[in-house]
């Protein structure tokens, strides 16, 4: 079985090109279901999750040309082309949807365009409960009739699937990125006005809204928690560039910090990483926008401990909690990390402890007492971001770290070992 082997102790220096954002590309792929015209996405990353959603979409009738994924096809950026001239099936089956939670994003577009949808309840990383109740609540508010049968969401629009979804007021009781994305897509083809309150504000949602607007959608309040969507009868095709991956950029920024290094992260945007930048600065690493990239430079031999609480955007991202924990593990002093988004997102802790970390977990709170040195060890990836945190720990550790179960890693990081190796890390993939 393949594994990542890291020999720690090298200071990272150089440039890394940040890939397009997985969490932006997935909903952008789903917009193909809203139009019978082609959708072309540039800067689309070459990841397992992209392949999984491609297979889901193909099963619904989408034609996909992914031959330029991972290659510089246009303007130096990889390209994926999608076209759904007609929807040939309304069923997204369990064997595909169970592989990735984001597959639920086909539900809203399918309903909006076809009037019916049957989508398996999703799977994905085991980082805690992530129910789809807010997705369903919003669609029901828009007039959809929804049943749960045999592990599937079975939905239809009014008039037995013959009518359109109706504009509605949707008040999210808590912030949900996936529900916001699903309902924005559905509302774009609904009849009348939809208003969303307490909507998620992530850059990936801004990117989705901007793409939909270019397709002819009428959306205002983009980038705020109050979205207003006036539905239109049809949407056109589009060519759209996927926003760069702030979580990948954040991971590499922590890599610079944990190795006492200096990196330029091409295409990264400081405005998307404000909360991480503040934490890094407090710990001794400075992030500065440099043209179209981010300059990250460690200013201290050993980082300082800093408390972190995860929050919805623009707060500190839960998807960077595991990575920043690895930094706090080797910092001076004690850091308190509080995870408010997912209840089971400390599964990397036992693996870090195997490497010499001093961490106590009580519910959603982790107390991290910094140690002077970590030691390489065989460790197992438990989820996507945990995988990255263990690589980061390996970069700082004495000796060799061997990371197993790396299929998690390949869901969200494009050739991470090659990118890190190019800036001085001793890291390789081995079968």
Instruction: Assess contact for 269 and 296: CB atoms under 8 A.
Output: no
- Rounded CA separation 267/355 (Å): 33
- Rounded CA separation 22/122 (Å): 17
- Phi, psi (rounded to 5 degrees) for 120: -60, 145
Q: How far is CA 113 from CA 41, 87, 90, in A?
A: 21, 9, 10
Give buried/exposed letters for 388-424 (b at 16+ CB in 10 A, else e): bbbbbbbbbbeeebbbebbebbbbbbbbbbebbeebb
Peptide bond into 67 cis (omega under 30): no
Distance of alpha carbon 134 from its chain centroid, rounded? 19
Phi/psi region, residue 173 (left: phi>0; alpha: psi -120 to 50; beta: rest), is: alpha
Query: Taking Cα atoms as reference points, which of 155, 147, 145, 165 lies closest to residue 118?
Result: 155
* DSSP category for residue 320: G
Order of all β-strands in the sheet with 400-404: 378-380, 400-404, 3-7, 426-430
Give buried/exposed letters for 12-26 (b at 16+ CB in 10 A, else e): beeebebbbbbbbbb
Q: Which of 125, 209, 211, 287 is catalytic?
A: 125
Q: How far is CA 296 from CA 1, 246, 279, 376, 424, in A?
A: 34, 14, 13, 25, 15
Catalytic residue status for 125: yes
- Rounded CA separation 149/340 (Å): 31
- Rounded CA separation 94/55 (Å): 12
Q: Which residues are catalytic?
A: 125
């Amino acid at each position: 079985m393949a594994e990542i082997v890291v020999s720690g102790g090298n200071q990272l220096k150089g440039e890394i090109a940040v890939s397009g954002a997985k969490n932006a590309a997935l909903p952008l792929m789903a917009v193909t279901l809203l139009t019978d015209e082609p959708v072309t996405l540039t800067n689309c990353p070459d990841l397992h999750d992209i392949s999984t959603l491609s297979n889901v979409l193909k099963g619904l009738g989408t034609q996909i040309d992914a031959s330029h994924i991972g290659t510089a096809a246009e303007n130096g950026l990889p390209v994926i082309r999608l076209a759904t001239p007609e929807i040939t099936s309304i069923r997204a089956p369990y064997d595909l949807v169970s592989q990735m939670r984001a597959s639920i994003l086909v539900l809203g577009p399918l309903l909006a365009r076809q009037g019916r949808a049957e989508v398996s309840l999703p799977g994905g990383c085991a980082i805690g409960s992530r129910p789809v109740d807010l997705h369903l609540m919003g669609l029901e508010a828009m007039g959809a009739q929804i049943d749960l049968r045999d592990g599937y969401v079975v939905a239809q629009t009014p008039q037995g699937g013959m009518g359109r979804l109706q504009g509605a007021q949707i008040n999210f009781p808590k912030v949900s990125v996936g529900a916001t994305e699903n309902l924005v897509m559905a509302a774009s083809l609904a009849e009348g006005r939809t208003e969303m309150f307490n909507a998620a504000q992530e850059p990936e949602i801004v990117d989705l809204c901007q793409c939909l607007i270019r397709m002819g959608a009428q959306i205002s309040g983009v980038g705020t928690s109050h979205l207003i969507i006036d539905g239109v009868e049809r949407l056109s095709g589009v060519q759209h560039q996927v926003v760069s991956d702030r979580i990948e950029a954040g991971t590499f920024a922590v890599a610079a910090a944990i190795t006492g290094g200096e990196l330029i992260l091409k295409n990264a945007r400081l405005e998307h990483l404000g909360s991480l930048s503040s934490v890094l600065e407090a710990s001794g690493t400075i992030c500065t926008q440099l043209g179209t990239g981010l300059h990250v430079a460690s200013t201290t031999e050993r980082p300082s401990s800093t408390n972190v609480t995860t929050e919805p955007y623009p707060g500190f991202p839960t998807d960077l909690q595991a990575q920043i924990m690895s930094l706090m593990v080797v910092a001076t002093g004690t850091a308190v990390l509080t995870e408010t988004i997912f209840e089971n997102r400390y599964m990397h802790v036992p693996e870090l402890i195997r490497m010499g970390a001093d961490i106590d977990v009580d519910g959603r709170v982790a107390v991290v007492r910094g140690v002077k040195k970590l030691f390489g060890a065989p460790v197992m990836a438990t989820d996507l971001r945990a995988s990255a945190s263990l690589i980061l720990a390996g970069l700082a550790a004495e000796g060799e770290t061997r990371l197993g179960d790396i299929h998690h890693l390949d869901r969200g990081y494009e050739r991470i070992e090659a990118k890190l190796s190019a800036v001085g890390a001793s890291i390789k993939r081995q079968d």
